Structure 1
Amino acid sequence: MLCAGKFCGIGAGTAALQWLHASRGGLLAGIRARGVSTSWSPVGAAFNVQPQGYSLDLFGERRGLFGVPELSTPEGFHVAQEKALRKTESLLELASRTAPGPQTVLIFDELSDSLCRVADLADFVKIAHPDPAFRGAAEEACRSIGTVVEKLNTNVELYQSLQKLLADKNLVDSLDPETRRVAELFMFDFEISGIHLDKEKRKQAVDLNVKILDLSSTFLMGTNIPNKIGGHLLPEHICRHFPVDGNCVIVDGLQAEAPDDMVREAAYKIFLYPNAGQLNCLEELLRHRDLLAKLVGYPTFSHRALQGTIAKTPETVMRFLEKLSDKLSERTVKDFEMMRRMKTKLNPQNAELMPWDPPYYSGVLRAERYNIEPSLYCPFFSLGACMEGLNLLFNQLLGISLYAEQPAKGEVWCEDVRKLAVVHETEGLLGYIYCDFFQRADKPHQDCHFTIRGGRLKEDGVYQLPVVVLMLSLPKSSRSSPTLLTPGMMENLFHEMGHAMHSMLGRTRYQHVTGTRCPTDFAEVPSILMEYFANDYRVVNQFARHYQTGQPLPKNMVSRLCESKKVCAAADMQLQVFYAILDQIYHGKHPLRKSTTDILQETQEKFYGLPYVPNTAWQLRFSHLVGYGAKYYSYLMSRAVASMVWRECFLQDPFSRAMGERYRRELLAHGGGKEPMLMVQGMLQKSPSIDDFVSALVDDLDPDFETFFMDSE
């Protein structure tokens, strides 16, 4: 699509604000000539104190969200949208009268950028802003811009202007590799939208895309809606674990960590009880995706979705998943047997292992063997210390520092949001990260990264700085302590910051391929790689200090934590394989006479190992079917690549500047402007096979892998 919504939000925004103040010396003094702000403060301290209100511009005026003047009120979304549409019209006219050449690609990219400036920002605001009026206005802007994009992707005149360029071999040969790839990606967007069809079928393709957007939005909302059941239908001791609404019990999640087997069973059966409307929505969504794929010439939606990825085809994905399942089978059986024995030990009357059991009993096994109670670790992981740890790591690997900058009034949507400037030691300011880290009412609990504005080289030679948001759900600080993270929260922070660095360092000429605008099975590689750093004692030892005593986190505590993650890890991975295969079947040639629940039951029995529970429909809570439709396998494939990169490049020395520079040069710098497998080959200096990917994942399950470096010291 012209608006390159490929990963974690689609990307736009406004020019990032630069502040000019007196120099403070050091690094900042060295880069003053680049017009970089000197009003920043150290990143660690900024996250261990309460925010100090807002700063004002020279005239004391209120700024809009992310500094966009129009967005000081919800109505501003309509103004911004109309402005983008007017610019779209002028760029369409310019494209029609421009001779084929590199300028054609620049016009297309500017067209994409002008729409994404509104769409990306709105995509974030519609789910994260605390004001319902802002959320509603953003939702409408998303829908409006999305409709325009689908129409542009079937605009024959626009298509012909690009076709003239790509049909001329001499012109194509004269393009540099990145420009040629971007031109081909734009052409691909046209083709998967049905540009080659006749007028009536093109309209049908647009209508299908708009319907898919509506169904996706409805399905997503339905994945989080609680289920209710009459309180008289549950034993009183079970009811006490759930909120109550009159005579009804409200079940809004799976209660996976609850120690009472009956509480987990009740939550599982009630929360996953089929909702007819949600079931119909999902099956309509899958049907419309299938219709669209066939209309534009693909045998299945999966074939359409996997163009340009590392895997390339559904056949490759299934071969990868089935080989991985085979390799995991013996380990998975052993994991389930361990959990079954633990359940028998704790609850002899009901020893059968059920789908609601693994998260709890694997946790019991980890705690019993390794004593990894999170409260023992939290005092060492204050948010400020973790942010300083990231700062130190990025500085050593990439020459990058993070600085806190005071946002202007109206620039952020909540006073808890922190704004970070990302600064390179020689290149100066690279972009901004807004950190929306703390829990609040109506805020989604899912940790994620949003591109607000993609980077690009503008015609005046100035680089448009990228702007992103990282959203977490951390507890707020108290009067007696800063925000303290569990090991899992710390790892998630590192994961999301990996996405942010991809956005900051994917400094491509075109915003259509900047940063995380790349194939999904490659986009997760930088974030998963950061998890390996987060679990390496040499890295953790740089920042993990008790917030009261300053005592460093003992090495054996990190060792126990790493070893504990191997407990039942094969069963966890097998569950992901099951989810990924289910996703492929839903988007493949599944028999239309079967319901999605029948397909779920068959797939679970074949690829998981625990029985399907009658009258449940887990797929109706599977929100990834929207954003990761036919691409849920990406997490596993990205983890395989990240594992190989870690072993080959960073296991020996996680602070290697030479490897850090190779990492930036080969993997981060290109965004989606280069074939993903070529980037992987450049980093690993070899061409990995499907068997290599499978082996990397299975080898990661070995208990001694994470602690190899400890034993060898």
Structure 2
Amino acid sequence: MVDVRAVRRLEHFDSPAGRQTRDISKRHLSTATETVQLSEAYHAPVLYGSLDFDKDKHVLQKIFDSGPFWREFLQRKPAARQQEGLLGIQYLKSPEGFFAFVQATKQKCDALVAKTLAATSLDEYRAMARDMDRLSDLLCRVIDVSDFMRVFHQDAAIIKAATQAYEHMFEYMNVLNTTAGLNEQLKKALRMPEVRSVWSEEEIISAETLVKDFAHSAIDQSPQKRQKFVDLSNEISRVGTEFVSQMEPAKQYVAVTRETLLGIEPDGTKQFRSWGKAMIPIHSQAARKVMKLVEDEEPRREIYMAGRTSSKKQIQRLERLLLKRAELAKLTGFSSYSQMTLSHKSALAKTPSGVNTFLTSLNASNRGQLQPQIDELLAQKRNSVPSASVLQPWDVALYQNTLKAQLGRNAMSNHSLEGSNAFFSIGTIISGLSRLFQRLYGIRLAPQPTAPGEVWNPGVRRLDVISETEGHIAVIYCDLFARMGKQPNPAHFTLRCSREITAEEIEAAQLGDKVNDGMPTGITISSITGKRALHQLPVIALICDFDEPSPGSHTPTLLSHHSVTTLFHEMGHAVHSILGRTSLQTIAGTRCAADFAELPSILMEYFALDPSVLKLYARHWDTDKPISDHQATALQQQQHRDQTEKDALWHNETQILMSLLDQSLHSELAVEAVEHGGGRFDSTEVYHRIWNSHGSLPEPRDTSWHGFFGHLYGYGGTYYSYLFDRAIARQVWRAVFRDGLDGAALDRAAGEKLKENVLRYGGGRDPWRCLEDLMGGGKGVLAEGGDQAMLEVGQWGVGAGAEGGL
């Protein structure tokens, strides 16, 4: 009934519960009382500067770029906004509130379950799709928020309470997933012509998806096996969360002597120097500089090895996760977890063999293009080390950098691009993204002071999304700066999805309960009835790990263009959640086919590199002067060369290897380990076999990078979707936005076409049909799906994308 998994950057989708939970209901509002009910239930937010675009633009920049301005901005809260719960949720004003949140939610769930099980009338069956979506929403609102807070909140008491709430509600959800009566009632509703004839496309898709969810929950098994399913699902959630949240390398630092740091400007490693040595954190800007600039091979080798070696505990966590997933697949009648996941979550590719064929074919093509570059880098290495016979993986960054310098690319940076990062402060980028969204979709970002208790960290900024036709339509919480203990992977989380609010909920609010638990609501047109209705608004969290300016510094954080592209990628997921405002939360936004969810975010990477868009957001942080035409062209050309000539091919290979590893670790190998291996599964051996069989360079023994591959939990058999969606995004960029030629990247008609044919549906329409409507020209090849459509996408090829991951 629910498909719990997170959409994060790489993990970039919605949240764990968001993908697992399915459907529940909502009744039509009576037309006679609709206006009164809506006006009494809906309280529009007070939006700072929401009617003044120019002021918003200035404030958007300053709240991210100036610490003093941000602190002063927080004091502008309206007096009426007193202490609030986390995200505005009425229950979450203290750790104890998580227990109250669980209890209140379970009471509502129990009532809906009882109603569904007792349904006998035609009206009750007609209401069932929306009732089930409401049930799904109730489960998700606790699971998603609790799961997020236990990872990102800093208060130990909150973390403990959120963890308990998550585990309790997750187990309750799995009990519902194995409740045979719910499955039988929903299947009965689907079989009734009198029901299907009045259901909307959204309602039919939600109901059919829920039936598939039940089938993957051992619903037809004995009570003992259904209980086993619950136990395994709970264990997978627990171990998977540990795997993601407790990542740790075998060692944190590499000691490097001062003499080896020749070639690196002193400020680059100054903070790490002591007593003639530098203790370089293995995942840091300083480490990356060593890899690119230090000629001495030994420190590069040490940093490479340390950066790709997980702790033994982390590998043990991963192997427990893989074995439990294999048990779950075996229990539910599948040959592997990958097969189980693809048959359940993917509406485009259907089988592991099909995915592996796609990946190996793509790798063969990429490998052929990459080999001449490997030969070129090896020749470059021999200029320094005449006896060298092998290019090592820790050589690549150094000799790529050397070649670029020889070809005059760094000279271009020293002239045309000198000081260009001054145009890429976080604030100027966010402000530019708002201008881009205004051009394409008629929406913009309005800064909003947070209330006391609303956010999980004082540095979180709130942006309200304002539509030029519908007003307030979403909330984005931006947690963009690194801090001690914070998970480093950039990510997108949907903390609450779009959903039409029921008449019962509005009535409860009139009796004293807060509608939507106190989280944002808005009046918009129902995608089911076509009438005005109250909706809960999408609430999104964006996570990045950009360095925060040092205290007292007047210069804001300035990003590389790679980091800019990462931020654009994450905002692509956010836009999908914002514009996919369906009336059923089960299919809202990024809750769509697993191998379709990355399309909007990867497409945004093309916008980040487009010259017309670059001029829109690249503005000097201090003077607001736009980047010059000469600099914009030079930067775009450099990025294009880097992506298409060198970096893209290496990046493609890495993504292919990661996707093959994801498939292999979730294949029959793990099931065989459960059945015949005594519960022993050597994931490190699988990792080395994949890398050394399909990679261009040998992976050293004793590394265990797969322990850092957190998306093994979030994707579990569907990581290939990043490459697959890159192929689709490349074609969309060509066919809809005309490769950005003549300012087409800012074409409102193209933006509306993407919004109306893809984004607004979320998961409420077959993705092949969406693609056919968007760019198929009525030929029907894509709409039919299947092998022919897969072949069509394969022929498009994979374009250059950012290295930011998902």
- Aligned residue number for residue 647 of structure 1: 734
Alignment correspondent of 2:428: 385
Residue 302 of structure 1 is matched in structure 2 by: 338
Deviation of residue 276 (structure 1)?
4.1
Counterpart CA distance in 2 for 1:588 and 1:484 is 43
Aligned to 1:658: 749
Q: Does 2:94 match 1:70?
A: no
Partner of 1:331: 369
Partner residue of 1:32?
none
C-alpha separation in 1, matches of 2:154 and 2:204? 42
Task: Tell me if the contact between 2:462 and 2:475 (Cα under 8 Å) persists in the aligned partners.
Answer: yes
Distance in 2, matches of 1:451 and 1:431, equals: 11
Indicate conservation of the 8 Å contact 1:327/1:698, yes or no: no
Correspondence list, 1:627-642, <5 A? 627-642=714-729
Which residue of structure 1 lines up, in the alignment, with residue 692 of structure 2? 605
2:212 to 188, 192, 200: 188
Give the match for residue 184 of structure 2: 160
AA aligned opposite 2:112: L
Q: Which amino acid in 1 is paired with 2:710?
A: S
CA deviation string 1:621-648 (max 9, x = no partner)? 2211111111111110111111110011
Q: Distance in 2 between matches of 1:237 and 1:41?
A: 46
Letter in 2 for 1:332: L
Of residues 565, 587, 594, the one that matches 2:643 is 565
Of residues 545, 555, 566, the one that matches 1:492 is 566
1:547 is aligned to 2:621: yes
Where 1:519 maps in the other structure, the secondary structure is coil
Q: Shift in Å at residue 579 of structure 1?
A: 1.3
Which residue matches 1:583? Answer: 662
Q: What's the offset of the Cα at 1:466? A: 0.8
Alignment equivalent of 1:97, drawn from 109, 118, 121: 118
CA drift at 1:243? 9.6
Mapped partners of 1:213, 1:640: distance in 2: 32
d(CA) in 2 for partners of 1:503, 1:348: 55
Per-residue deviation, residues 281-328 of structure 1 (Å, max 9, x unmatched): 322322221221121122211111112332122122112111111211
Secondary structure of the structure 1 residue equivalent to 2:390: coil
Give the AA of the match of 1:2: V
Q: Which runs of 5+ in 1 are unaligned?
A: 29-37, 702-713
- Report the Cα offset of residue 56 of structure 1: 4.9
Q: Within 2, Cα distance between the matches of 1:170 and 1:6?
A: 36
1:365, 1:567 within 8 Å by CA — same for their partners in 2? no
Q: What SS does the aligned partner of 1:631 have?
A: coil
String of CA shifts for 1:409-428, please: whole Å, max 9, x gaps. 22122332221111111122
**SS class of match (1:283):** helix
- Separation in structure 1 between the aligned mates of residue 372 and residue 760 of structure 2, nearest angstrom: 42
Once the 2 structures are TM-superposed, how far is the Cα of residue 603 of structure 1 from its aligned partner? 1.6
Displacement of 1:98 in angstroms is 2.8
- Residues 430 and 504 in structure 1, CA contact (< 8 A), matched pair in contact too: yes
Name the amino acid aligned to 1:690. M
> What residue is the counterpart of 2:36 in the other structure?
none
Structure 1 letter corresponding to 2:649? A
Q: Distance in 2 between matches of 1:332 and 1:230?
A: 30
- CA offsets per residue over residues 443-488 of structure 1, 9 Å max, x none? 2221111111111111233111111111112233464223322111
Aligned partner of 1:44 in structure 2 is 61
Flag the 1:700–1:490 CA change in 2: closer, same or farther, 3 A.
Answer: closer
Give 1:351 deviation, angstroms.
Answer: 5.8
Partner SS for 1:433: strand
Is residue 601 of structure 2 the alignment partner of residue 533 of structure 1? Answer: no
Separation (CA, whole Å) in 1 of partners of 2:428 and 2:465: 18
Task: Label 1:515 to 1:368 Cα distance change in 2 as closer, same or farther (>3 A).
Answer: farther
CA distance in 2, matches of 1:269, 1:263: 10
1:556 CA displacement: 1.9
Q: 1:219 — aligned with what?
A: 243
Task: Verify the 8 A CA contact 1:224 1:252 in the aligned structure 2.
Answer: no
> Which residue is 2:142 aligned to?
118
Aligned partners of 2:245, 2:221: CA distance in 1, in Å? 33
Aligned to 1:705: none
Judge conservation of contact 1:194–1:296 (CA < 8 Å) in 2.
yes
Q: Distance in 2 between matches of 1:84 and 1:493?
A: 34
Contact 2:83 2:452 in 1 (8 A): yes
Q: Render the CA deviation track for 1:596-654: whole Å, top value 9, x for unaligned.
A: 22222222222112113122222222211111111111110111111110011112411
Distance 2:351 2:696 in 1: 27
Q: Give the 3 Å change call, closer, same or farther, for CA 348–690 of structure 1 in structure 2.
A: farther
Tell me the equivalent position of 1:673.
764
Q: Report the 3-state secondary structure (helix = DSSP H, G, I; strand = E; otherwise coil) of the residue aligned with 1:390.
A: helix
Give the SS at the match of 2:476: strand
Q: Secondary structure at the match of 1:431?
A: strand
Q: Give the TM-score taking structure 2 as reference length.
A: 0.79
CA contact 1:54–1:407 (8 Å) conserved in 2:
no
**SS in structure 1 at match of 2:493:** strand
Question: Is 2:44 the partner of 1:18?
Answer: yes
SS at 1:216 equivalent = helix
Partner of 2:545: helix, strand, or coil?
strand
Q: For residues 280 and 482 of structure 1, do their structure 2 counterparts lie closer, same or farther at Cα, with a shift above 3 Å needed?
A: closer
Matched AA of 1:439: A
In structure 2, the CA distance between the partners of 1:683 and 1:367, relative to structure 1 (3 Å rule), is farther
1:643-669 CA distances to partner (integer Å, 9 max, x unpaired)? 110011112411121111110111111
Alpha-carbon distance, 1:4 to partner: 5.3
Instruction: State the secondary structure of the residue aligned to 1:411.
Output: coil
C-alpha spacing 1:654/1:155, structure 2 compared with 1 (3 Å): same
Letter of the 1:337 partner, please give it. Answer: D
Structure-2 change in CA distance of 1:551 and 1:271 (3 Å): closer
2:23 maps to what in 1? none
Kept in 1, the 8 Å contact 2:349–2:790? The answer is no
- Give the alignment partner of residue 616 of structure 1, picking from 682, 694, 703: 703
Asked whether the 8 Å contact 1:306–1:630 carries over to 2, the reply is: yes
> What does 1:454-533 correspond to in 2, within 5 Å?
454-460=497-503, 461-477=533-549, 479-533=553-607
Stretch of structure 1 that moved more, 221-230 or 418-427: 221-230
Partner residue of 2:161 out of 137, 140, 143: 137
Contact between 2:250 and 2:306, CA under 8 Å: does it hold in 1? no
1-structure distance, mates of 2:339, 2:748: 40
- Once the two structures are TM-superposed, the CA of residue 564 in structure 1 deviates from its matched residue by 1.9
Deviation at 1:489, TM superposition (A): 1.6
- The 1:59–1:171 alpha-carbon spacing in structure 2 relative to 1, beyond 3 Å, is closer
1:392: Cα distance to partner? 1.5
Bigger shift: 338-347 or 674-683? Answer: 338-347
- RMSD (Å) for aligned C-alpha atoms: 3.2
Mapped partners of 1:59, 1:401: distance in 2: 25
- Whole-Å separation in 2 of the counterparts to 1:678 and 1:238: 57
- Alignment of 1:266 onto 2:302: yes
**Code of the aligned partner of 2:147:** D
| C-alpha separation in 2, matches of 1:16 and 1:227 | 53
Gap change, CA 1:482 and 1:126, over 3 Å in 2: same
Query: Which stretch of structure 1 is more off in the superposition, 322-331 or 685-694?
Result: 685-694
Q: Does 1:286 align with 2:322?
A: yes
Aligned pair count reads 687
Query: Residues 113 and 511 of structure 1 are in contact (CA less than 8 Å); yes or no, is this contact kept in structure 2?
Result: yes
Distance 1:355 1:450 in 2: 33
Where 1:484 maps in the other structure, the secondary structure is coil
Aligned identity (percent) is 31
In the alignment, which residue of structure 2 is the partner of 1:417? 460
Please state if 1:314 is matched with 2:352. yes
Q: Which residue of 1 aligns with 2:82?
A: 61
